A and B are shown apart, each in its own frame.
Chain A
Amino acid sequence: MLRIGVDIGGTFTDFAIWKDEGDGYVDIGSHKAPTSRPNFADAVKQGVRDLVARYGVAEDSPILVVHGTTVSTNAVIERSEPPIALITTKGFRDILGIARLRLDKPVDLFNRRSIPLVARENVFAITGRILADGSEDIHLDEAELLDAVETAVARGLSTMGVCFLNAHRNPAHERRAVALIRGRFPDVEVMASHEVWPQQSEYERAMLTLLNVYVKRLMQGYLQDIDDFLVETYPNAKLYITKSNGGIMSAAEARELPIHTLLSGPAAGVTAAHTLGRYLGLDRILTFDMGGTSADVSLIDGGRPMITAQAEVGDFPLMMPVTAVEAIGAGGGSIVWLDGGVLKVGPRSAGSLPGPACYGLGGTAPTLSDAYLIANYLSPKGLLGGRVALDRALAEKAFAPIADALGTDVVAAAESAIDVATSNMLAKISPFLARLGVGASDLTLMIFGGAGGVHGPILASEINIGRMVVPRLPSVFCAFGGLVSDLMHDAVRTVQGQPLTEAEIFDIFATLAAEGRDWLKRQSHEGQVKETEFIHLADMRYAAQSFTLSIDLSTVLAARGGLDAMVAAFHAEHARLFGHANPDAPVSIDTLRVRTIGRQAKPGAVALGSAGALPTPLEHRRIRSGGRWLEDVPVYAWRDLSPHWAGAGPAIIQQDLATILVPPGYGARVGALGDLELVKD
Chain B
Amino acid sequence: MDPVQTEIMKNRFTAIAEEAATVAYRTAHTTFVKQTQDFQVAVARISGEFFAYPMLTGVVSGSGQTIAGLTRHFPDDELEPGDVLISNDPFSTWGLVTHMMDIHLARPIFVDGKLACFAWSFVHASDIGGAVPGSISPDLFECFQEGLRLRPTKLVKAGAVNQDIVNILKDNSRIGDAVWGDLEALMAAMRLLDLRINALCAKVGVEAFHRGVDDVMTHAEMKARRVIGALKDGTYTFADYIEGDDYGAAVHIYCRLTIRGDGAEVDYSGSSPQVHAAFNFATGSRTHPFLCLGLTNYIQTMEPDIPINGGVMRPIKAYAPPGTVMNAEYPAAMGNRFVAVMRCYDALIGCLNQALPDGIAACGAGQAGIISSAWADPASGRNRVAVVEPFSGGSGGRVRADGVDANDTMIGYLKSTPIEHVEVETPLVVRRHELVPSSFGHGRYRGGAAVAIELESRSPEVTITVRGLDRFRFQPWGVFGGTAGGNSVTTLNPETAPARIGRIKVLRLGERDVLQMISSSGGGFGPPVERKPEAVLRDVLDEMLSVEEAEAIYGVVIAGREIDRERTAALRAGIADGPPRFSVQHGPSRRAFEAEWPIEASIALADAALATPPGLRRFIMVKSRAALDDATKPITPAMVADTVKRIASQSR
Contacts and interface: CB of A to CB of B under 8 A. Distances in A.
A202 B430 CA distance: 13
Interface residues of B, number: 82
Given A103-B407, A109-B360, A165 B35 contact: no
Given A98-B433, A166-B423, A427-B15, A107 B300 contact: yes
B31 A547 contact: yes
Given A121-B541, A137-B429, A431-B56, A426 B420 contact: no
A546 interface: yes
A578 B27 contact: yes
A91 to B, nearest CB: 4
Nearest to A89: B419
Nearest to A125: B434
A102 interface: yes
A416 interface: yes
Contacts of A580: 27, 29, 181
B14 interface: yes
B331 interface: no
Given A103-B407, A578-B27, A344 B7 contact: yes
B423 A131 contact: yes
A98 B360 contact: no
Contact of B418 (A107, A202, A429, A578): A202
A101 B415 contact: yes
Contact of A545 (B7, B11, B31, B407): B31
Contact of A547 (B35, B400, B543): B35
Interface string A341-359: 1111000000000000000
A339 B219 CA distance: 10
Interface in A186-230: 200-204
Contacts of B4: 343, 406, 416, 419-420
B8 interface: yes
Interface string A165-177: 1101000000000
Contact of A109 (B26, B301, B544): B301
Interface in A479-509: 496-497
A405 interface: yes
B22 interface: yes
A94 B435 contact: yes
Given A91-B454, A109-B301, A342 B431 contact: no
A342 B1 CA distance: 8
B78 to A, nearest CB: 31
Interface string A519-549: 0000000000000000000000000111100
B301 A165 contact: no
A361 interface: no
Contact of A340 (B57, B226, B421, B424): B226
Contact of A423 (B7, B18, B181): B7
Contacts of B300: 107-108
Given A340-B222, A496-B421, A94 B404 contact: no
Interface in A145-189: 165-166, 168
A92 B431 CA distance: 8
Nearest to A205: B420
B413 A434 contact: no
A100 interface: yes
A112 interface: yes
Interface residues of A, number: 66
B444 interface: no
B432 interface: yes
A610 interface: no
B305 interface: yes
B38 to A, nearest CB: 14
Contacts of B541: 119, 121
B434 A93 contact: yes
B21 interface: yes
Contacts of A202: 418-420
A591 to B, nearest CB: 12
B401 A112 contact: yes
A497 B420 CA distance: 11
A376 interface: no
Contacts of B409: 103, 106, 109, 111
Contact of B413 (A94, A102, A119): A102
B19 A107 contact: no
B304 A108 contact: yes
Given A430-B16, A547-B31, A342 B419 contact: no
A341 B404 contact: no
Nearest to A101: B416
A338 interface: yes
Contacts of B298: 109
7 nearest CB pairs, A to B: A106-B412, A423-B11, A103-B412, A497-B424, A91-B432, A120-B542, A132-B423
25 contacts: A94-B433, A98-B416, A100-B416, A101-B415, A109-B398, A109-B409, A110-B301, A111-B409, A112-B404, A113-B404, A119-B542, A131-B429, A165-B420, A200-B424, A201-B421, A342-B6, A344-B305, A406-B4, A424-B11, A437-B26, A545-B34, A546-B34, A579-B27, A580-B29, A580-B181
Interface of A: 91-94, 97-98, 100-103, 106-113, 119-121, 131-132, 137, 165-166, 168, 200-204, 338-344, 405-406, 416, 419-420, 423-424, 426-431, 433-435, 437, 496-497, 544-547, 577-580
Interface of B: 1, 3-4, 6-8, 11-12, 14-16, 18-23, 25-27, 29, 31, 34-35, 54, 56-57, 60-61, 181, 188, 219, 222-223, 226, 296-298, 300-301, 304-305, 360-361, 390, 398, 400-402, 404-407, 409-416, 418-421, 423-425, 429-435, 451, 454, 538, 541-544
